[in-house]
Amino acid sequence: MSRRYTFCHRWTVAAPADRVQEVLADLEHYPDWWPQIRAVAKIDDDNARVLCRSVLPYDIDLLLTAIRRDPLELETTLSGDLEGLARWRLRPDGPDGRSTRLEYEQDVLVAGRLLGFLSIALRRPLAWNHDRMMAGCRDGLAAYV
| Residue 57 domain boundaries | 4-144
pLDDT of residue 116: 72
User: What amino acid is encoded at 142 in this protein?
Assistant: A
Would the pTM of this model clear 0.85, i.e. be above it? Answer: yes
CATH number where 26 lies: 3.30.530.20
Number of domains in the chain: 1
Let me know: does 30 contact 84? Beta carbons within 8 Å.
Answer: no
Q: Number of C-alpha atoms within 13 angstroms, CB side, residue 94?
A: 14
Write out pLDDT tens, residues 42-96: 999 999 999 999 999 989 999 999 999 999 999 999 999 999 999 999 999 988 8
Compute the distance between CA of residue 29 and CA of residue 73 in angstroms, rounded to an integer: 19
